[in-house]
Every structure is written in C-alpha cells, then in structure tokens.
A and B are shown apart, each in its own frame.
Chain A
Amino acid sequence: MKVAIIGYAISNLGWDVEKTREEHVFEVAKSAIEDAGIDRKDVCTVVSASTDFLDGRTISNCMLIGATGAYLKDESKAEEDGMYAALYAAQRIMAGVHEIALAVSHTHSWIFNPHQISHYMLEPWFDRQNDLLNEITLGALQARIYMNNYGADELDLAEISVKNLRNAANVPYAFRKLHDVTAEEVLEAEMYSDPLTELMISPPCDGAAAVVLASEEVAKEICPNPVWIKGIGNACDNYLRDRDLTRLNSLEIAARRAYRMAGIEEPFREVDVAEISERFAHQELMAYEALGFCREGKGRVLIEEGMTEVYGDIPVNPSGGALAGDPICATGMIRLIEAAKQIRGEAENQVEDCRTALAHAQWGLLAQKNLVFILGDEP
C-alpha cells in the first residue's frame, strides 16, 4: 500500500509567540487540511507529537482534541518528534485501516528551557548526579570525539552553521536567519561548552507543524500533486553510555533501510536534496557520513567543497535545518515538509530538478534514534 503527503503547514517559528498551544495547533491542523483540499470530516485518524516534560503537563494532548479535529476519531499521541507521528499515521494507512490521516506536532520552548529538560533525559542514579551534564555539554563531548577521530575542526563546524543560517535568511518562518554571517562570527559567538558556540547549537523555539497523508487511491483522486513516500527506515541505538559517539550508527541503519525500500543504491547520486535534524553543527557532518553521502570521516570534505550548498551536488538543509529554529517535536516534521516542498517545487531555496528528497528526524540524547523518509514525485 502506497502513501502520499497531500497537505502540510508550518507555523511561524518564534520565541514566545504569545499563542496558546491550542491556537497554534489549530492553525497548522486547519491549514494542512485546507492545503490538502479536504474537509475536517474526511480525516479518519490523528496522531500528534509532543512531550509532556516540555509541555509542563501530562497527557499533554488531552486538551488538543478540538484543535486537531480528533473528536471521537482514532487518535494517539507520540512522545517523539512529529516525523514519528507521520510514520505511525502512514503505517495506519499502509495497514489498510484508514484512508486519510493527520499528523500534528508542536513544542513551545518558551514554557521552560528545553536544555534544562535534557538533563532529565539522563539515567537518574549516576549520570543525573552530575549537574554539568545536559545535551549541550554531552553534544560538546560528541563533537570533540568526532573531530579527534576524523580530523575535522572548529572551522568545519562553523561552516555548517554559516550555510544553514544563510539559507534560512530566505525562509519566512525561520527563527534564526543570518544573511551575512561569517565563520569568524560563528566561532566568536558566545561559548557554551567548547567547541560549541551559541551559533553551533540549535535554538529552541515555539512552533507547530501538520501533515495530511492519504492512501494511493485517495491521493490520486483528490490531489493534483501528491508527494509519495518511497522509503522509510527507523533505528534506535543504545543509551549514550553504550554507544560509539564517533558515528551515528542508528542513522546509518535507518538510512540503509529507507534506501532499500526506495530502491536507492547510490545515495550521493540518487538523492537530490536532504533535510536533516542537526541539533548541533557537528551532527550534520556526522549525518553526511551516516546517510552515505561520503565515506566515514569525510563529512568535512562535503562542506569544505560546498557540495551541500543549495547549488551543490547534494544540497543539505536548504531550509536552514534545526540550526535555524528548533521547535523540538516539530523540527523533524518540518524537515519532512521541506523535503515535500522541494519535490513540489515550492521551496524558498529550491533545488533544480528535484525528484527524490530525503528527510530525517532524531530523538533522544545525541540522536539515540533516527528516522529517515525518502520522498518522490511518483508512486
């Protein structure tokens, strides 16, 4: 059973958007349904994604049933990135149970500092006893272990931020847009935990996104330009104490699974654009390798040679990626939507002749689990 994306919406990303979660979620759900050209009543199943800890309330979807239009429908919440909500929605359609699904995601980082919350993702008895550990300090350890192993340096990390933040300058909804930013400015930005400066760390912000998915039959009938899900791969690694931090092993496995399903043998040649969720600049370099765009340890060559620029051989994050705005649970779903926009030719930084797009979401400390979608213009 094939599944297509037939509608989507991304909210403006901001800090303290002065909107309730309910309003924010309602806006994107309504826009995505309108974009799909369907009625709220046509949606059979709804999957939302948010986290209780970030939301400051538990069963955090209980007040959103009106906003998502899920009243008396098949409904679930994923405590993960919104791209996982899209995965579960797609699986419900693939199973033949539903025809049209809505996946919604949101985070309001303004409620409470998500970096503080990352401390509470740590194992409580030993790791959490150390008050210096959180996603940023651990991200810094990951950055340095990767750099030490493969000879990448701070300038390579800075160049990732420069590329993404400049790309974001053209994206109306983006949160951090720096049109003229230079590598020097990235390196001289405020140091949090070396080698990571402020501009190498994704900025938590408020935001929401929604995607409408449909079965092949319905998509062909009602949508003039459906974007087809060609491949899906998902893999979960161990807790970070038991992981090789020099590489994104579970992303490599997820990508391989998605490529196999989509019939992709040479990702560097066959993927036209990739939208990935890099919580830190170095994770984009690591993703180049895990996604098979280059050999292990050679991620820096792609950025040094400009290959991942919008005009390059394998453009990565023309939307600016997570470094341009990180509404945690919506971040991966926004990558999925940006990949779909590339297939439809609607992206702000449009890649030419884009027929195969890759989208990536991560979840858990230092990308413990990774999800990859391959999208295409044909079923």
Chain B
Amino acid sequence: MGVVRYEGLPFVARFRWNTGKIMEKFYEKFAEKQIIAARCENCGYTVVPPRMICPKCSSKMDEKNLVNMDGRGVVLSHTVVRKKLDGKGNFIDLNKPEIVAAIKLKGADSQIFVRLGEVEAEELKPGMEVVPVWAEKPEGKPSDLLYFKPG
C-alpha cells in the first residue's frame, strides 16, 4: 500500500525480577507439594501467593507470617478458553479448549487463577472442591503445579 513500516522491537529484553524472600519460599515449598500463604498478624487477611505487604492493611509481613495451606480449594468461577494468545499478539484457536478457573484455597482470603484438568466444563459449578495436581518430581519451581482437579 505504499506505506513504509518499521517492524519489531530494537532489542529483546529478558527482564529479571527479585521475587523477594517470601515468594522464594513459596516456590521452594512446591518441591514438597505444598502451597503456603501469608497471614497478616494485624488484620488476619490471608493472601496466596504470599505477599510482603498486606494488601488490606499495609502491614509488613515476613517469613514468620507464612502458613501452610492444605491445597484444597473451591471453584468461584470458570471459563472455557477457545482462543489463546501466542505471546506475539496472535490469537490461536485451541482445538482442545482449556479451562481456567478462579479458585479460593481453604484458609485463604484471596483468590488465584489456575488451569483445571481431568474435568469437563459441563460438570463444573461454583463451590466445587478442587485439589492440586503436581509434577511427578517437583523441583521447587512454577511448573511443578500442573493444574487443579476435582477432589
């Protein structure tokens, strides 16, 4: 169309962030197939993944605020994802749609957004109980937690 266009970023940035001590512990615990949260001593709010500042009352939290969850949760909401983004801005049609859910872990006040597996969308309803499914040999990293399933 006669328009000269410039494509692409001039560089590829591989950002790295310090996760902070608390988040490091969160992933270390994955190696033991455990999920931990932070419970605020001031207001009692329990947040997962754990945070260093309470999102509700702004109190400082650290390792002594960490508490074990038993991993069980309930489904608040779910969606069947038909189109996925490929990371480059394109939508790809999923031949096998995937299910994502908002769940609340037992003992937590915050919610997390996770993949669900071993379940059909039609069976899902709010309040359904789910449990985590872990990699066979967890190593203390994000990919250890595969998905949640009814249980």
Residues of A within 8 A of B (CB): 18, 56, 112-113, 115-116, 119, 124-127, 129-134, 136-138, 140-142, 144-145, 148, 190-196, 238-239, 241-242, 245
- Which residue of B9, B27, B102, B121 contacts A145 across the interface (Cβ within 8 Å)? B102
Whole-angstrom distance between the alpha carbons of A115 and B121 in the complex?
24
Residue of A nearest to B19 (CB): A125
In contact, B55 and A239 (Cβ under 8 angstroms): yes
Q: How far is the CB of A145 from chain B (nearest CB, A)?
A: 4
Is B79 positioned at the interface, with any CB of A under 8 Å from its CB? yes
Whole-angstrom distance between the alpha carbons of A171 and B80 in the complex?
34
Whole-angstrom distance between the alpha carbons of A56 and B102 in the complex?
31
Residues in B whose Cβ lies below 8 Å from that of A140: 79, 81
**Cβ proximity bits B110-135 to A, threshold 8 Å, 1 near / 0 not:** 11111100000100001000000000
**Cβ proximity bits B77-105 to A, threshold 8 Å, 1 near / 0 not:** 11111111101111100000010111000
Give 8 closest A-B pairs by Cβ, nearest first: A113-B89, A140-B79, A145-B77, A129-B142, A242-B55, A116-B89, A144-B77, A141-B77
Residues in A whose Cβ lies below 8 Å from that of B90: 113
Residues in A whose Cβ lies below 8 Å from that of B47: 241-242
Instruction: Report how many residues on chain B are interfacial, defined by Cβ distance under 8 Å.
Output: 43
- Assuming the contacts A115-B85, A193-B80, A242-B110, asked whether A141 and B98 have C-beta atoms less than 8 A apart, the reply is no
Is B150 positioned at the interface, with any CB of A under 8 Å from its CB? no
Residues in A whose Cβ lies below 8 Å from that of B91: 115, 192
Residues of B within 8 A of A (CB): 1, 3, 9, 15, 17, 19, 23, 26-27, 47, 49, 55-56, 76-85, 87-91, 98, 100-102, 109-115, 121, 126, 142-143
- Which residue of B49, B84, B100 contacts A126 across the interface (Cβ within 8 Å)? B49
In contact, B76 and A145 (Cβ under 8 angstroms): yes
Residues in A whose Cβ lies below 8 Å from that of B101: 141
- Which residue of B19, B55, B100, B111 contacts A137 across the interface (Cβ within 8 Å)? B100
In contact, A194 and B79 (Cβ under 8 angstroms): yes
In contact, A137 and B81 (Cβ under 8 angstroms): yes
Q: How far is the CB of A279 from chain B (nearest CB, A)?
A: 15
In contact, A148 and B77 (Cβ under 8 angstroms): yes
Residues in B whose Cβ lies below 8 Å from that of A196: 79
In contact, B89 and A133 (Cβ under 8 angstroms): no
In contact, B98 and A132 (Cβ under 8 angstroms): yes
- Which residue of A113, A116, A124, A133 contacts B113 across the interface (Cβ within 8 Å)? A133
Q: How far is the CB of A114 from chain B (nearest CB, A)?
A: 9
Residues in A whose Cβ lies below 8 Å from that of B109: 242
Q: How far is the CB of A345 from chain B (nearest CB, A)?
A: 40
Q: How far is the CB of B116 from chain A (nearest CB, A)?
A: 11
Q: List 22 A-B contacts (CB under 8 A).
A: A56-B9, A115-B85, A115-B91, A126-B26, A126-B142, A131-B87, A132-B81, A132-B98, A132-B100, A132-B115, A133-B113, A137-B79, A141-B100, A141-B102, A145-B76, A193-B79, A193-B83, A193-B100, A194-B82, A238-B56, A245-B77, A245-B102
Q: How far is the CB of B135 from chain A (nearest CB, A)?
A: 13
Q: How far is the CB of A121 from chain B (nearest CB, A)?
A: 13
In contact, B110 and A241 (Cβ under 8 angstroms): yes
Residues in B whose Cβ lies below 8 Å from that of A131: 84-85, 87
Please indicate which of the listed interface residues A124, A129, A132, A190 has the most CB atoms of chain B within 10 Å of its own CB: A132
Whole-angstrom distance between the alpha carbons of A124 and B15 in the complex?
10
Residues in B whose Cβ lies below 8 Å from that of A142: 77
Residues in A whose Cβ lies below 8 Å from that of B27: 125
